[in-house]
Chains A and B, each alone.
Chain A
Amino acid sequence: MKPQEPIPHNYSMKTLNGIFLWTSVGLLAGTLVMVMYDYVRGWKWFQREFNRIQQERIEQELTAKNDAEMRKRLAELDREMREGQVEIARNREAYIEAQRDLDKWEGRHYAADQDYRFAKAVLDAKRYEFEAAMVQHRRDLREKEHEYNEHTAKVGRLNLVLQDVTRSRDAARARVDEFLTRIKELENRRKELTAGSDLLNKQLRNVAVASVPNLLLNAPMLDFINPTLKIDQVVLSDLFIDMNYMSVPRVDRCMTCHRAIDRPGFESKREAERLAEQLQTQLDRNLVLPARRAETEERVAELRRIVDAKTELMNPFRTHPKLDVFVGSSSPHPLLEYGCTVCHRGQDRATEFGRAGHTPMSRRMEMRWEKTSPFFPTKGDYEKRNWGYQVNPFLETPMYPRQHFEAGCLKCHATQMEVRDGERINKAAHMVELYGCHACHKIDNWRFTDLQKPGPSLEGIAEKTNPAWTFRWIANPTHFRPTTRMPSFFYQRNMTGPAVPEAERAQNVRYQDAEVHSIVAYLFDKSTHRNWSAPASGGDAARGKQLVDTIGCMGCHIAQDTIKDAKTGAVRVAKRDDFPLERHFGFNLTGVGSKTNPNWIFNWVKNPKAYDPFAPMPSLRLSDQEASDITAYLMSLQKQRFMQEPIRPPLRKAVHDLAKGYLINTMSDVDADAKLKAMSDREQLVYLGQRSIEKYGCYSCHDIKGFDGLKPIGTELTTEGSKTLHLFDFGFFGTSTHTHDYKHEDGKKEYVLHNVPSWIYNKVRSPRVYDDRRTKPYNDKLKMPNFNLSPDEAQLVSSVILGLTKEKVAENRLAARDPGMRAVEEGRKIISQRNCRGCHVVNRNGRAIAALITDTNFLPPDLTPQGERSQSPWLFNFLKDPTVMKIRPWLSVRMPTFGFTDQEAATLVAGFAAEGDEPQFDTHRFATPSQQNVAIGREVYTMLRCAQCHSTAPVDPANPPVPNVADTTSLAPNLTLSKLRLRHDWIADWIRRPGEMVPDTRMPANFPRDPQTGGFQSPLANAIDTPQFAGHRAVLRPYFESDEALRKTMADAVALTNYLRDYIWSIGLDQMRAARPGSEGPAPVPAPRQPPAPAVQTGDRGGQAILPVPARQAGLPVLHK
């Protein structure tokens, strides 16, 4: 054929082909890149890596399983099986015959069965027809009936045939089976033997990284069908996350990379060691159920292997610590119900490191995280943990960094005083309460509301101390007491720090001086001036010291500035952390003599409520002599050096300038000048004092006259943890002009990372640091005081702040919701506010005073079982007035009179009862034991020699005899007091297991547990028949039917302790004195006194700046020009 004439075009085919070619190549490449981009995901590496780890483990386990012994047994089985097969081969003919026969019968059986079934179906139809004909009175009724009967007979026949055939078939099958039994049995045995390995092999198949099917399943474009690498998630339908103004259920995908998070066996070494230790202790103490013993032992061995392993797993592959508390399926926070982000925060749906919101805990970690390879992260990056991290400013809830993990607890547990197993967050919350963050910063949740002010009332400051001390104290609290809770407001880094320019610094010093003086002037001006009586008699300081050390003052106070280092043994300056928080409840007593006067101390220690009705200090019911002795001792605690620190007098110009600065906010310059002119120097100072107290918010922590009802000074912290990054002022930190670090006043280097936790931490650690390098007017500078917190303390406090979020959780997720738990928590709040743990153990925690009492016999009682132990009416009475009963007259520590209101005492009582899971009132309060039980109980009491330590002589509950060292009956409580005090059933329980309720009790276990069965053993079991007890036996015998019955009872710990209880109940007193109202002791009536005339002089020293005035100047400040 002739080639077609080319049609003329206006385009070149060749060029077009070229364009098409290149665009298709381009499109293809684009598609490939898209596929690639979609395919290469960070999380896949983690899954592959984790699979590899698992594969390694499974292979190891398989090797271990497939040991020589196993191989031998398998080989044995195989040999037998071969023998069996040979056997069959030998009888080949017969076997084939039997098999053929079976086949034949199988066929017949099938046919007979089918015939029978069909006939049955037809019979059903026939029955219906017959029934219908009967009901409709049809004419063919007879016919139908006949048909039905005939069919019934047919079905019967067919059934017989079927049974026949079945029998024959079974016989044929049995014949065939005869040949196969042996082989089948061998096969089963083999299966049993390899069950473990089969399971492992199955697992191996899933995780094998390089297996062909898995490679195919996970290949690009094919992985939509059933990949083994896939995103894992937990949908939490009732836990919400705030996304763009909308609450949506959380979908946590963290386990996509954190593969082993809920799987034991992948612990870190530290966690493994802790767990192994814990489980081993449980094993040693026989606390593991016999059925679970083997399992537990295996687990301990596994953990020990982890500890001994050469390498450690890196983090995304580790098991969550404390699986029994978190994540584990039987823990209170199972993974499927709580997920991860509800506690840790972070972006729930994210599967990339950066998007998930991981937050570094330190600058070092941040720098390591920041690194990455260009384009795609490589395997090496992952192994070195170079995640390519960068701050994501748009993420509202980045994760808590590691040191603040426990902040997440507060989301649900801020309804509790303490979280179980949350030592750190509990300490942190206690610190916030003690240091009084809540006083300046409103924190609107149950935990931090209705708390007392952290500082003492200043309304009577002039009665207590003098202006010279007060000035030095406000200026530099830590100079007086290094461990004080009072923060430093003045002469801080943004005022007089080394970075402040010279000229400004001098000016700031003058201003700060003026402010301190003005505050002192205001406080003393407004103070009451009551006359406190002098100590009743001359005091003996040595005796006073002994009292302070022994009667319980040290549960709340410290009286030392130095401490012997536990490690080096050298004496060094004490730090706050050297003492339990409870002992910071009261102030450090050192130097108190320099601060106060004998009259005030005497009256204060006798009755703190007379000075300040809301004083947290309780009364220890001191006699006049004791109070005098203590006064003498406390007055001997002097700090001369501190009192010699120079005081710079306030400069008139500084006072004037500052006062005017406040005035011109509301009036014109001229008016302000005129107003100031009309004021005396003293008036100006007092005016400035008022404004300064307002400025610094002193009234938030202290009661100060004239500041009632003012709002707290600080930013509200209720939802501070949810504030987004851009709302925080980092000053010049992290900008190009300044690096990330600064030098803290205590010399340590600190880092400011660009994230919220770091900002808060540094704010708490060095509150003025964000003023560094900034130029601000004097009054605009940051004013938050410096609490001089150590890095660890600052971390704790910032954890709490981070935990305060606006994320709401459903009501049913909040901790401690039910009324019983609420009662416990309300009680615990009072326990914390009154610092009961200074002396007592509550819920296995506390007793700060123990450090000073070496002999455990003289420790105040452990209140852990208090609810189960005591009767509510007694406890109420005792809390209101501890003098109603002296239970342990040998203790030198005194239960103080707290002056609880009825409401407070009732709350405490209800809390204890709820904690012990007991009803408010003992239902057996009025039980009357039978004469017989009492008589048996008395005999048992004698046999067990209880009288060796317990007295049964009736006493006055309020005044039991003073313990006599030459008599062991003073070692334990008088038992006649038990009926008033103890719950009926608790008595027997206590006798059975004292050490389990109170670990360090003196009360011995008279019925020790059998180490094997865990049951109680009776010491009288065999002893009753010995001549030693012949007399007792004779007394007891009439109460029992037979010798056997007597013997049986004597071996029965529960019966014996119940008899003992009945005896103790029978001798109990029924009456005790009611609590006296106002039993804090006689309230002195201080006579009002004229305030001394303000002795303000106006010095005139020309422009001379700051001059030291003579030390120990006790008068009011002198103004200088």
Chain B
Amino acid sequence: MPHRKYLALLFALLLAVACGGGKEVVDEADLGEDDGAPKATETAAGDTAAPAAAATAVVADAATLNGLVKFEAAAPPKMPALQMGADPYCASQHPTPALDEEVVVGPAGELANVIVYVKNAPATPAPSTPALLDQQGCKYIPHVSAVQAGQKIQIRNSDATLHNVHAMPEVNRAFNVGQPVQGMVSDQKFDKVEMTPFRIKCDVHGWMKSYMVVLPHSYHSVSQMNGTFSIANLPPGNYTLVAWHEKYGQQEQAVTVGPKESKQVSFTFKG
């Protein structure tokens, strides 16, 4: 019976397949894959080159923002003297009592300690120079600061008393480090961008406060005693400039800078 023959053949084939006869077939296919003539995988090389080129281009025609932060009020708020009596060492560091640094206004109504940064600028690599946060005379110097994500921050205790540095970020990792030894430096860094300024406090000395913001780029500045600030190396473009003050909150301003432009901007906080 021819049928039976076919059936047997079919069965044999089946067994062959089931027991791995299929292997060879696929192996050949594999080989084909391996030998694979050049395929359309012209990858990273070209892509990475572009931004690098762009980055170099940016520095070439970078703009600079110079500005002034002013304060408008009938009279600048009178800051109370800090009561440092709790720690005799601190009190002894200030022959004339130190004033609270919440609002520091210059003689012509310039507002200091305002963090000014570009909100929507492209990220830049973290600088290799560390930022310094000093504790001197039981005060944080600087009182407010902006650092970059991943940038090393050196926190120094220049006082001959115990300070603890209690950073209270929301996004980044909080820490609370004791510094019992004068001249001690503790290295810290914040890995993530945190645009809302957070507090750094000393639990030993209740009056000690500092504010910090962690940005993805280097386009930031803090207004000086004379109210000025300066942001350099900014690639041309449309930006939103943010100014933040510990008491008077946040302001935003749109700026457009052209290549190699040096632009003046100003912020005014009302008391």
The reply to whether A1003 and B176 contact each other, CB–CB distance below 8 Å, is yes
* Shortest Cβ distance from residue B101 to the other chain A in the assembled complex, whole angstroms: 19
Tell me the chain B residues, 155-192 only, with Cβ under 8 Å from chain A: 160-162, 164-166, 173-184, 186, 191-192
* Shortest Cβ distance from residue A853 to the other chain B in the assembled complex, whole angstroms: 15
Q: Is A197 an interface residue (CB 8 A)?
A: yes
What is the CA–CA distance of A971 and B202 in the complex, to the nearest angstrom? 12
Q: Is B86 an interface residue (CB 8 A)?
A: yes
* Segment of B22-30, B56-64, B116-124, B260-268 in the binding face: B22-30
Task: Take A205-B26, A1019-B180 as given contacts and tell me if A966 and B86 are in contact as well, using a CB distance cutoff of 8 Å.
Answer: yes
Q: Is B254 an interface residue (CB 8 A)?
A: no
What is the CA–CA distance of A605 and B75 in the complex, to the nearest angstrom? 48
- Residues 201-228 of B, flagged 1 when their CB comes within 8 A of A and 0 if not, give 0011100000000000000000000000
The reply to whether A197 and B204 contact each other, CB–CB distance below 8 Å, is no
Task: Take A71-B38, A285-B173, A966-B86 as given contacts and tell me if A217 and B18 are in contact as well, using a CB distance cutoff of 8 Å.
Answer: yes
Minimum CB distance partner of B202 in chain A? A1004
- Residues 63-98 of B, flagged 1 when their CB comes within 8 A of A and 0 if not, give 000000000000000000001011100000000000
The reply to whether A965 and B86 contact each other, CB–CB distance below 8 Å, is yes
The reply to whether B173 and A1008 contact each other, CB–CB distance below 8 Å, is no
Q: Please give, as numbers and ranges, the residues of chain A lying within 8 Å of B176 by CB-CB distance.
A: 994-995, 1001-1005
The reply to whether B204 and A1005 contact each other, CB–CB distance below 8 Å, is no
The reply to whether A213 and B17 contact each other, CB–CB distance below 8 Å, is yes
- Residues 65-87 of A, flagged 1 when their CB comes within 8 A of B and 0 if not, give 01110010010000000000000
Using a CB–CB cutoff of 8 Å, the interface residues on chain A facing chain B are: 62-64, 66-68, 71, 74, 194, 197-198, 201, 204-205, 208, 211-214, 216-217, 222, 225-226, 284-285, 857, 943-945, 948-949, 965-968, 971, 994-995, 999-1006, 1008, 1019-1020, 1023, 1026, 1028
What is the CA–CA distance of A1002 and B30 in the complex, to the nearest angstrom? 64
Tell me the chain B residues, 130-148 only, with Cβ under 8 Å from chain A: none
The reply to whether A225 and B34 contact each other, CB–CB distance below 8 Å, is no
Contact of A971 among B17, B36, B180, B204 (CB under 8 A): B204
The reply to whether A1005 and B177 contact each other, CB–CB distance below 8 Å, is yes
Q: Is B4 an interface residue (CB 8 A)?
A: no
The reply to whether A1004 and B39 contact each other, CB–CB distance below 8 Å, is no
Tell me the chain B residues, 1-53 only, with Cβ under 8 Å from chain A: 14-15, 17-18, 21-23, 25-26, 30, 33-34, 36, 38-39, 41, 43
The reply to whether A213 and B180 contact each other, CB–CB distance below 8 Å, is no
The reply to whether A211 and B22 contact each other, CB–CB distance below 8 Å, is yes
Contact of B87 among A217, A948, A1019, A1028 (CB under 8 A): A948
Minimum CB distance partner of A994 in chain B? B176
What is the CA–CA distance of A217 and B87 in the complex, to the nearest angstrom? 84
The reply to whether B25 and A968 contact each other, CB–CB distance below 8 Å, is no
Contact of B177 among A71, A226, A1004, A1028 (CB under 8 A): A1004
Q: Please give, as numbers and ranges, the residues of chain B lying within 8 Å of A226 by CB-CB distance.
A: 18
Q: Please give, as numbers and ranges, the residues of chain B lying within 8 Å of A217 by CB-CB distance.
A: 17-18, 22
The reply to whether A1019 and B17 contact each other, CB–CB distance below 8 Å, is no
Q: Please give, as numbers and ranges, the residues of chain A lying within 8 Å of B43 by CB-CB distance.
A: 67-68
* Shortest Cβ distance from residue B147 to the other chain A in the assembled complex, whole angstroms: 16
* Shortest Cβ distance from residue B49 to the other chain A in the assembled complex, whole angstroms: 16
Task: Take A211-B22, A857-B203 as given contacts and tell me if A944 and B178 are in contact as well, using a CB distance cutoff of 8 Å.
Answer: yes
The reply to whether A1023 and B181 contact each other, CB–CB distance below 8 Å, is yes
Using a CB–CB cutoff of 8 Å, the interface residues on chain B facing chain A are: 14-15, 17-18, 21-23, 25-26, 30, 33-34, 36, 38-39, 41, 43, 83, 85-87, 160-162, 164-166, 173-184, 186, 191-192, 203-205
Task: Take A213-B26, A217-B18 as given contacts and tell me if A63 and B177 are in contact as well, using a CB distance cutoff of 8 Å.
Answer: no
What is the CA–CA distance of A222 and B26 in the complex, to the nearest angstrom? 20
Contact of B174 among A64, A208, A284, A999 (CB under 8 A): A999
* Shortest Cβ distance from residue A687 to the other chain B in the assembled complex, whole angstroms: 62
* Shortest Cβ distance from residue A936 to the other chain B in the assembled complex, whole angstroms: 16
What is the CA–CA distance of A71 and B38 in the complex, to the nearest angstrom? 8
The reply to whether B178 and A1006 contact each other, CB–CB distance below 8 Å, is yes
The reply to whether A943 and B173 contact each other, CB–CB distance below 8 Å, is no
Minimum CB distance partner of A62 in chain B? B33
Minimum CB distance partner of A972 in chain B? B203
Q: Please give, as numbers and ranges, the residues of chain B lying within 8 Å of A1028 by CB-CB distance.
A: 160, 181-183
What is the CA–CA distance of A213 and B25 in the complex, to the nearest angstrom? 9
Task: Take A213-B21, A1004-B166 as given contacts and tell me if A949 and B204 are in contact as well, using a CB distance cutoff of 8 Å.
Answer: yes
Q: Please give, as numbers and ranges, the residues of chain B lying within 8 Å of A965 by CB-CB distance.
A: 83, 86
The reply to whether B180 and A943 contact each other, CB–CB distance below 8 Å, is yes
The reply to whether B34 and A208 contact each other, CB–CB distance below 8 Å, is no
The reply to whether B86 and A967 contact each other, CB–CB distance below 8 Å, is yes
* Shortest Cβ distance from residue B250 to the other chain A in the assembled complex, whole angstroms: 15
Q: A214-B22, A217-B17, A225-B18 are in contact. List 13 more A-B contacts (CB 8 A).
A: A217-B22, A225-B14, A857-B203, A945-B161, A948-B87, A949-B204, A965-B86, A994-B176, A1002-B166, A1004-B178, A1008-B177, A1019-B181, A1028-B181
The reply to whether B204 and A968 contact each other, CB–CB distance below 8 Å, is yes
Give me 26 A-to-B residue pairs in the complex whose CB atoms sit less than 8 angstroms apart, sorted by A's number: A68-B38, A68-B41, A71-B36, A194-B34, A197-B34, A198-B30, A204-B26, A212-B22, A213-B17, A213-B25, A214-B22, A216-B14, A217-B18, A217-B22, A948-B162, A967-B86, A971-B204, A995-B175, A1002-B166, A1002-B176, A1003-B176, A1004-B164, A1004-B177, A1023-B181, A1028-B181, A1028-B182
Closest 9 A-B residue pairs measured CB to CB? A213-B22, A1004-B178, A1004-B164, A945-B162, A1006-B178, A1002-B203, A948-B162, A945-B180, A944-B180
The reply to whether B87 and A968 contact each other, CB–CB distance below 8 Å, is yes
The reply to whether B34 and A1023 contact each other, CB–CB distance below 8 Å, is no
* Shortest Cβ distance from residue B228 to the other chain A in the assembled complex, whole angstroms: 34
* Shortest Cβ distance from residue B174 to the other chain A in the assembled complex, whole angstroms: 7
Q: Please give, as numbers and ranges, the residues of chain A lying within 8 Å of B191 by CB-CB distance.
A: 284
* Shortest Cβ distance from residue B94 to the other chain A in the assembled complex, whole angstroms: 16
Minimum CB distance partner of A964 in chain B? B86
Minimum CB distance partner of A213 in chain B? B22
What is the CA–CA distance of A1020 and B179 in the complex, to the nearest angstrom? 10
The reply to whether A948 and B161 contact each other, CB–CB distance below 8 Å, is yes
What is the CA–CA distance of A68 and B204 in the complex, to the nearest angstrom? 61
Minimum CB distance partner of A949 in chain B? B204
Contact of A968 among B86, B181, B186 (CB under 8 A): B86
Q: Please give, as numbers and ranges, the residues of chain A lying within 8 Å of B33 by CB-CB distance.
A: 62, 66, 197, 201
The reply to whether A968 and B34 contact each other, CB–CB distance below 8 Å, is no
Q: Please give, as numbers and ranges, the residues of chain B lying within 8 Å of A1020 by CB-CB distance.
A: 181
Minimum CB distance partner of B33 in chain A? A62
Q: Please give, as numbers and ranges, the residues of chain A lying within 8 Å of B182 by CB-CB distance.
A: 1028
Q: Please give, as numbers and ranges, the residues of chain A lying within 8 Å of B204 by CB-CB distance.
A: 948-949, 968, 971
* Shortest Cβ distance from residue B108 to the other chain A in the assembled complex, whole angstroms: 35
* Shortest Cβ distance from residue A480 to the other chain B in the assembled complex, whole angstroms: 38
Q: Please give, as numbers and ranges, the residues of chain B lying within 8 Å of A212 by CB-CB distance.
A: 22, 25
* Shortest Cβ distance from residue A1116 to the other chain B in the assembled complex, whole angstroms: 57
Minimum CB distance partner of B19 in chain A? A226
What is the CA–CA distance of A67 and B40 in the complex, to the nearest angstrom? 10
Q: Please give, as numbers and ranges, the residues of chain B lying within 8 Å of A63 by CB-CB distance.
A: 39, 41
* Shortest Cβ distance from residue A991 to the other chain B in the assembled complex, whole angstroms: 10
The reply to whether A1023 and B184 contact each other, CB–CB distance below 8 Å, is yes
Q: Please give, as numbers and ranges, the residues of chain B lying within 8 Å of A968 by CB-CB distance.
A: 86-87, 204-205
Minimum CB distance partner of A1023 in chain B? B181
What is the CA–CA distance of A1003 and B23 in the complex, to the nearest angstrom? 67
Q: Please give, as numbers and ranges, the residues of chain A lying within 8 Å of B39 by CB-CB distance.
A: 63, 66
What is the CA–CA distance of A511 and B22 in the complex, to the nearest angstrom? 83
Q: Please give, as numbers and ranges, the residues of chain A lying within 8 Å of B178 by CB-CB distance.
A: 944, 1004-1006, 1019
Task: Take A949-B204, A1019-B184 as given contacts and tell me if A216 and B17 are in contact as well, using a CB distance cutoff of 8 Å.
Answer: yes
